[in-house]
Structure 1
Amino acid sequence: MDNRRKLSRPAQIIRYLETRLSASNEALALHFGVGPKTITNDIRDLNRLMSASGTIEMESGRYRLFISDPESFNQVRNTICERIDSFNLATNRYGYIFRRLIGQAAPTLIDDLVEEMSIGRSTVVADLSRLKKELSPYALRITGIPNVGIELVGDELQIRLFVLENMFEAVYSDYPLDDDFVEIIEDAAEEYHLDAVTTESFTRWFTVMIDRVLTDHALVGMPGKYLSLKNTSAFGLADTVINAIGRRIQISIPAEESIFLALPIVGMRTPSHELGREQFPASSENTELVQKILDEIKSEMDLHVPADALLKEFVYHITFMQNRMRYRVYVKGLSLHDIESEYPVAFRMAEVAKRVIERETELTVIEDELGFIASYFQVFLEEQHAQSEPSYRVAIVSTSGLVSARLIQTQLQKVMSGRTEYQILTLNDADAATLDRFDLVVTTAWSELVTTTSIIELSEFFDNREFLRKLNQLRYDKQVDIPIAAGAHSLLVSILDRSRFFILSPDKTYLENTLVMVDQLSEQGAIDSGFKQRLLVREAKSTMVLDEGVAFPHLANALGSKVVFAMGVVPRPPGNSGVRVIFLMGLPDKSDYDDTMLVKIYDEIIRLAGNRSEIDQISRITSYKDFFFHMARTPLPSYNPEELR
């Protein structure tokens, strides 16, 4: 093995896809020890380099390599796969140094490392200094005596965990795993219904284990917390593999290695196959834990998540997550910053779940695990939205034939919600009884149409801005609720009544201004008599200020069956601290409304709160009409979590 040189990751991806035929982004990220976005960027760069000779495309969730010009592809491939001097990269130097340290029975001289890597002594010393810092959390040390050499000191289990979490590619990317070993692993994976990602992870752990055993570094004893794994299905799988390997190579492998090899199984992601979940049952205690999480979300956010909608799979996730935290098995996830930015409501739900889990289990939820929890909640929110969003029927009445009508429909589809249904009618078919069955009529027929349905008249050749302008004017003039594609309009505008837009005093506190709004709503007969007192009690328990610029007080309203929504702006001078916008909401009984609206409201308010310049502009608006058209003209801002910190 040439320790000084290795293929670049893009070259390894090419080879991987040539031999495996296809692979998911997740599997590649796990195999190479990087994030999914890094793999996406590598694939993009490879496609650019291959140009017309070949392409890597995503099919059914898996990357596949297609070669259109074999001769040109081979030339490009050879260029990509040229071996590079890995010691120009600091990470490769760390990997080489660490591999030398864990593979030597005697101390290693720094001068030997300098000669082997053909780099300066000061570079090696600096690399060792950084490596020492990275080893510290694992209670591993690099010690040495001048002219004698340096050596790695620490627990064998921690050495392995450090490799798996930080340096697997640098140490084992070229490790020659025997075909017989691979066959044994694949047989066990099939028997226990492991998916490809878990099998890949298990193989990495096996590679580390077999190398350390064969080089006289077998585990001797395991911390007490790991011994309980002997009673699990994961241990049964690992022990089956260990025994088969022992028989194949005629050696006795210590029982501790079966415990070690059980770790990637007890800490895997939730099995995707039902038969796989049956092999590794979830803890019944976690059913109660999940219910506590859902209760806390309901209490803090007024979001009702039905247990049956999320319970079964989420209980499995919580079970495996606790194993990962308890036994220190880390699984890379999506960027937490990306999740927080893209799914702010799900992220806040996950933060609530994190607090409950840490309180109930005394385990620490790390960032990657927080991201996984948020992903589960986002899937639930998306599914609930898809199930609850009603269809919206639009009639297109054209005098210029079917082609023109379809062109209009194509343009409308860019603006309207995806669940909008369209029907094209001729002028003769557009009688009052027919048109009254639709929610909206869009027409190029400038003659009068008789219908109680709202009408928008357009020219045959229009742009989306013209349509949106007329749509927003219709929504403002007649308070018509029209479902528009995400990002094309503000839900806050749709649910805000003109009489519930308030200009508040910058001389009052947040709570004083909120009570002014409550008193106004009470005078309008919109909220029950106990609303004010309940708000004060809840505010004393936990403030509903999202950040210094935005507050979102909301609680149950016993009066009426619809959401009561009000908005107050506080025109503070630039640079002055204090809440600038207050969104106040009274929620009806849970049986009378759909939580998906509250989720959408949460999402829009959190995104606004993350955009301070937008909040400053809104706080200076002086009328409902100005607010309406400001939001109609302004795209929904992307969420910037850094501005909330």
Structure 2
Amino acid sequence: MNRPTQNDRLSIILDVLQKKQAVSLDALANRCSVTKRTIRNDAALLNRTLRSAAQIDLNKGQCILQIHHEQHYRKIAAELSQQQAADTPEKRVKRLAAQLLDATQPLLIDDLSEQLHVSRSTLVSDLNHLRITFEPYDLEVKGKPNQGIHLQGSEWEKRLYILQNNDHVLDQPLDQTIAASVHAFAIRHLLAEATERVLLRYVGVVLARAAKHPLPRNSTAFDVTHMMQTKEYACIDQLASQLEKNDRVLSNAERAFLTIPILGRRSPVHLPNRSTVALPMAVRQLIIEIERQVKVQLSIDIHFGTISNELGYHLMFMLNRLVFGVTIHHSLVREVQEKYPLACEIAQIADEVIQERYQIKVNEAELSYLAYYFGIALTENEEPLFQLSRVAIVCDTGRGSARIIAMQLNKILPSTVEKQLFSSLAVTKAELEQFDMIFSTVPLPNLNTAVIEVKDIFDERKLAQKINKYWALDTLKMKKNGQGVSLISQLLDEEHFFMLSNQKTHHDNMVAMITSLERGGLVDSGFKQRIMKREQVKHTLFDRGIAFPHTMNRASRQIVLAVGIYPLKQKVCEEEIRMIFLLGIPESQHNETLLIQLYEEMIALSKKIDLLHNDLSARTCAEMKKRVQRLCTIANA
């Protein structure tokens, strides 16, 4: 636990003394994890701060607060509280990064601990967080605690780090005269606003570091000699001469550095690639671990393939933002959660991996951005279940509408699929049953061929999912209907439905469900052991009161789904469970697409779980089963 900073202590002392008339030095020292001497020093500092508004008297080991001017005292106390709020761990890490980047000799851990008002252990934790941000730039904290630590790496890499994290590690606004000179330069040379902003950052870095940390004349990062021959260098040379004031001299290397944002009107900071910021091995390992945990927790093989580099850079910069406490806003968080529910679940798994590795919590906005990448990966990993050769399009609003539907289907179905248009008034049952699937704007009952009802304009992604589900049901030899496709409702039957007991533990209820399935020959004898082994590693609990234990099943070539309902909310690991979805996945027919669809349907159903539990005590098992089936269908509509 972090030791309170001095600002923290001052606020704590005032808060405690306001609530109690007299407090012992021992009590305050214990509360603040410091010595009584430190509390005396803090009290003396407070008395100087409070001036005539109040006074802390020390008498026989007791501290007593005497308030003389209430209004003045309240104002000073509020200012101290604001200072405490401003002294956050993120700002402390920022100050630590700035000290390491600016140091010209090793820094002692004890000195840093005293300057930052934290314990050695807290400082070590802060350094570990900084190492996450340093690694992509080939920067490394080296040294021994008793001999001092320093930041090892080239000046070029340090500058790249500062530029990428400019708002995090630099708090030095440019002098207005210098900013005006850069602005005039930008206007004179027709620089875009974005390029001017980047140039200002480069100027800030040069002015902050050129004297103590000059760039070497010969650098492998960029060719100074080549840059000096460009017309952009000649332009920057004029600006650099204006900046050379107060005995400041800028070398050719520094001037070449300032030329970078002008060359091509872009900065390498905005284009991370192998030649600027390489994707570190730690980030690649993080991606591999996320893939592994998705497999462990969801039984889904997800591979990021073509987007692995994009995801890696996103993770790298996201970790930087989290370490430095930089908050981003995402106005579409709710929409992402609605449209990509499974991708959001995978983002939660990624959060767990990051917390385990780096002890950093990922916030909701960052998770929603991660979900975009996972949504892309799920789509790219998805293998179509359907293998269509001929489809019919039946429309009651004219041939133009039918063609619009056909155009939209072209985006979903392979180009080899033959599409034929029909009027609902002229087509016959015999004609339609020659096709693999029918898309219709009107109900077409009593057909053996699968019929999917569509509108003139439809959501192509949802229709693709519905097509997959129809063919999944066909693969599973299950009934299809035009009112809504639900894998869960089709997989449910009386033998797989359980009313659970709140008098038993969650573990015992699962055992009872599995034992019943085993007696019916639906799951193999090792199924229970595999489920319980997974549960020991991590409870398969979803949000909104759903538990989803699942594993491979060697006793059946079909998916086995059992559902258990708790009459009252059941407490499990600080979570409240209402339903158990117990899934047996055929080992011989493991299909990622089918699993993904089951997950998304289960998550959609969980959002309507309150409807399921209305008046629960008055329902029989059969009635509850019908209610589950109906809500599954509604969730899919």
TM-score tier (shorter) = 0.5 to 0.7
Deviation (angstroms), 1:291: 1.7
Deviation (angstroms), 1:548: 7.7
Is the contact made by 1:209 and 1:257 (CA closer than 8 Å) also made in structure 2?
no
Say whether residues 1:527 and 2:523 are aligned partners.
Answer: yes
Give the whole-Å Cα distance in 1 for the aligned partners of 2:332 and 2:364.
7
Deviation (angstroms), 1:164: 9.3
Residue 586 (structure 1) aligns with: 584
* Structure-to-structure mapping, 1:535-546, within 5 angstroms: 535-546=531-542
Deviation (angstroms), 1:562: 3.7
* Structure-to-structure mapping, 1:383-462, within 5 angstroms: 383-385=380-382, 395=392, 403=397, 423-424=421-422, 430=428, 432=430, 435-440=433-438, 452-453=448-449
Give the whole-Å Cα distance in 1 for the aligned partners of 2:616 and 2:224.
60
Task: Kindly provide the CA deviation profile for residues 199-243 of structure 1, in whole angstroms up to 9, marking residues without a partner as x.
Answer: 94x7535425536877xx667657xxx99xx87689999999999
Deviation (angstroms), 1:550: 1.9
Is the contact made by 2:391 and 2:435 (CA closer than 8 Å) also made in structure 1?
no
Of 613, 617, 629, which aligns to 1:616?
613
Is the contact made by 1:394 and 1:422 (CA closer than 8 Å) also made in structure 2?
yes
Give the whole-Å Cα distance in 2 for the aligned partners of 1:611 and 1:253.
66
Give the whole-Å Cα distance in 2 for the aligned partners of 1:163 and 1:127.
27
Relative to structure 1, the CA distance from residue 433 to residue 414 in structure 2 (aligned partners, 3 Å threshold; closer, same or farther) is closer
Match of 1:136, as an amino acid?
D
Residue 210 (structure 1) aligns with: 203
Say whether residues 1:492 and 2:488 are aligned partners.
Answer: yes
Is the contact made by 1:427 and 1:445 (CA closer than 8 Å) also made in structure 2?
no
Give the whole-Å Cα distance in 1 for the aligned partners of 2:487 and 2:599.
10
TM-score calculated relative to the size of structure 1: 0.52
Say whether residues 1:294 and 2:291 are aligned partners.
Answer: yes
Residue 628 (structure 2) aligns with: 627
* Structure-to-structure mapping, 1:237-316, within 5 angstroms: 245-246=236-237, 248-250=239-241, 251=244, 252-253=249-250, 268=270, 280-284=277-281, 286-316=283-313
Structure 1 range deviating more: 363-372 or 492-501: 363-372
Relative to structure 1, the CA distance from residue 355 to residue 527 in structure 2 (aligned partners, 3 Å threshold; closer, same or farther) is same
* Structure-to-structure mapping, 1:77-96, within 5 angstroms: none
Deviation (angstroms), 1:582: 0.9
Deviation (angstroms), 1:551: 1.0
Where 1:579 maps in the other structure, the secondary structure is strand
Residue 603 (structure 2) aligns with: 606
Is the contact made by 2:506 and 2:570 (CA closer than 8 Å) also made in structure 1?
no
Residue 21 (structure 1) aligns with: none
Deviation (angstroms), 1:331: 7.8
Structure 2 residue ranges without an equivalent (≥5) = 1-71, 96-114, 117-161, 455-465
Deviation (angstroms), 1:583: 0.7
Relative to structure 1, the CA distance from residue 203 to residue 248 in structure 2 (aligned partners, 3 Å threshold; closer, same or farther) is closer
Relative to structure 1, the CA distance from residue 430 to residue 558 in structure 2 (aligned partners, 3 Å threshold; closer, same or farther) is same
Is the contact made by 1:303 and 1:598 (CA closer than 8 Å) also made in structure 2?
yes
Of 547, 550, 557, which aligns to 1:554?
550
Give the whole-Å Cα distance in 1 for the aligned partners of 2:295 and 2:601.
19
Where 1:303 maps in the other structure, the secondary structure is coil
Is the contact made by 1:505 and 1:571 (CA closer than 8 Å) also made in structure 2?
yes
Give the whole-Å Cα distance in 1 for the aligned partners of 2:540 and 2:77.
49
* Count, aligned residues: 451
Relative to structure 1, the CA distance from residue 185 to residue 282 in structure 2 (aligned partners, 3 Å threshold; closer, same or farther) is farther
Deviation (angstroms), 1:531: 0.2
Match of 2:598, as an amino acid?
I
Residue 87 (structure 2) aligns with: 136
Say whether residues 1:374 and 2:365 are aligned partners.
Answer: no
Relative to structure 1, the CA distance from residue 265 to residue 320 in structure 2 (aligned partners, 3 Å threshold; closer, same or farther) is farther
Relative to structure 1, the CA distance from residue 549 to residue 176 in structure 2 (aligned partners, 3 Å threshold; closer, same or farther) is same
Task: Kindly provide the CA deviation profile for residues 584-628 of structure 1, in whole angstroms up to 9, marking residues without a partner as x.
Answer: 111233x73432332333334334445562352396653233332
Relative to structure 1, the CA distance from residue 558 to residue 310 in structure 2 (aligned partners, 3 Å threshold; closer, same or farther) is farther
Give the whole-Å Cα distance in 2 for the aligned partners of 1:378 and 1:618.
37
Give the whole-Å Cα distance in 2 for the aligned partners of 1:483 and 1:235.
70
Is the contact made by 1:569 and 1:619 (CA closer than 8 Å) also made in structure 2?
no
Quote the sequence identity (%).
Answer: 22
Deviation (angstroms), 1:128: 7.6
Deviation (angstroms), 1:553: 0.7
Say whether residues 1:516 and 2:521 are aligned partners.
Answer: no
TM-score calculated relative to the size of structure 2: 0.53
Match of 1:627, as an amino acid?
V
Give the whole-Å Cα distance in 1 for the aligned partners of 2:438 and 2:326.
53
Deviation (angstroms), 1:405: 7.3
Residue 480 (structure 1) aligns with: 479
- Tell me the C-alpha RMSD between the 2 structures: 6.1
Is the contact made by 2:186 and 2:196 (CA closer than 8 Å) also made in structure 1?
no
Residue 101 (structure 1) aligns with: none
Is the contact made by 2:343 and 2:375 (CA closer than 8 Å) also made in structure 1?
yes
* Structure-to-structure mapping, 1:156-171, within 5 angstroms: none
Is the contact made by 1:234 and 1:266 (CA closer than 8 Å) also made in structure 2?
no
Residue 74 (structure 1) aligns with: none
Match of 1:178, as an amino acid?
H
Task: Kindly provide the CA deviation profile for residues 257-306 of structure 1, in whole angstroms up to 9, marking residues without a partner as x.
Answer: 999999997875x76xxxx6666543355433322221122112222112
Relative to structure 1, the CA distance from residue 554 to residue 164 in structure 2 (aligned partners, 3 Å threshold; closer, same or farther) is same
Is the contact made by 1:234 and 1:265 (CA closer than 8 Å) also made in structure 2?
no
Deviation (angstroms), 1:383: 3.8
Is the contact made by 1:266 and 1:324 (CA closer than 8 Å) also made in structure 2?
no
Give the whole-Å Cα distance in 2 for the aligned partners of 1:409 and 1:499.
46
Where 1:571 maps in the other structure, the secondary structure is strand
Task: Kindly provide the CA deviation profile for residues 391-417 of structure 1, in whole angstroms up to 9, marking residues without a partner as x.
Answer: 69764668xxx74577699899999x9
Give the whole-Å Cα distance in 2 for the aligned partners of 1:378 and 1:236.
47
Relative to structure 1, the CA distance from residue 614 to residue 394 in structure 2 (aligned partners, 3 Å threshold; closer, same or farther) is farther
